[in-house]
Amino acid sequence: MMKPYNRLLRWSLRLVIAAVVALLGFSTYAAFAIWTYGEKNQMVRSDAAVVLGAAAWGDEPSPVLRERVNHAVRLYKEGYAKLLILTGGRADAGNQAESEVARSYAIGQGVPSSAIRIETKSTITEQNMSYAYEIGVQEGVRVWTIVSDPLHMKRAMVMAKHAGMEEAYASPTQTSAYRTTKSKLPFLLRETFYYTGYWITLPVRRALGDGL
């Protein structure tokens, strides 16, 4: 007869193997979903385009942030967004917030300041969405367009829904700074990791009452 300790060890090992297989399976699915979702561009007339934050280099947007704002500017000028909500906080106290740099750039591209709202507190995508949603509610926004890089869109859209943006559409920038396989692959791996982690930890964070 197998000793209870050995039986427990065998079942524990089976559970670990099953968990690893399930995790690998979900991660593979996630990577495929992230890659294919980024090809979707939903050109819908919305009340506001939410531009997700990216690094600012001093007073200038990084290439990633610049192309996100460029895309949002085009949406505004072509009538697909009535308002731009720019997100992103400060990397440190001595610099402008990403959203402040983005606002200056958008104004320089011909968007009136009256059509721009910003938040300066967020540091991660989830916060981008929650703070943008707060601004949008105050502005009466009901239809949302989410702007980011193609490989970021899958996770961003899940977070948009969880933030309260019930009618949200994806519009990834068509001029992403991530254009080569060499630059796309690390981005895809990072997004797969974060997307998988988001779903794994979501029940715990909801149970702790984080407002999701």
Q: Is the pLDDT of residue 211 over 60?
A: no
All domains of the chain in start order, with CATH: 48-190 (3.40.50.620)
Q: Give the predicted TM-score (pTM) of the model.
A: 0.86
- Produce one character per residue of 63-90: b if its CB has 16 or more CB atoms within 10 Å, e if not: ebbbbbbbbbbbbbeeebbbbbbbbbbb
Q: Is the pLDDT of residue 212 over 60?
A: no
Distance CA 96, CA 104 (A): 11
pLDDT, residue 12, reads 73
Q: At what angle do helices 98-108 and 63-77 cross, to 10 degrees?
A: 50
Write out pLDDT tens, residues 3-29: 666 666 677 777 777 777 877 887 888
CB atoms within 10 A of CB 14: 10
